[in-house]
Amino acid sequence: MKKQGIAFGLVIFILVGLLAGGVTFWFGGPYTAGNVDALKILVTAFSILAGILIAIITAFGDAQYLLEGSWRIASAHRRLKINNIDRASYYSMYIWL
């Protein structure tokens, strides 16, 4: 069995995300504290992101699009569908950058 290494791209992606979140929290905190309009904007943005994610899961995750045949073929095809959903959800995050 092949030994898998560390996914450096994923580690860098997570670290950059955490760093960006920390910087936003540090510098944006005073502007949003007690601001009702800022809360409305955040709720709206996250609601739209959740809707996009649900649409992606609905479009790509439907079981009727699995290949017919044995359970092994369906299982392999299911893995491909899950990879497509993961990839699409990462791309939907880039829309907001």
* Structure confidence at residue 2 (pLDDT): 60
51 in Cβ contact with 43 (< 8 Å): no
Cα separation of 68 and 34, whole Å? 55
Confidence of residue 66 (pLDDT cuts 50, 70, 90): low
- Find the mean pLDDT for residues 64-88: 72
Tell me, rounded to whole angstroms, the distance of Cα 44 from its chain centroid.
17
* Structure confidence at residue 64 (pLDDT): 64
Average predicted confidence (pLDDT) for the chain: 79
pTM exceeding 0.75: no
Give counts: helices (H), strands (E), the chain: 3, 0
CB atoms within 10 A of CB 61: 13
Residues 5-47 pLDDT 10s: 777 888 898 999 999 999 998 998 888 888 889 889 889 999 9
Cα separation of 15 and 81, whole Å? 27
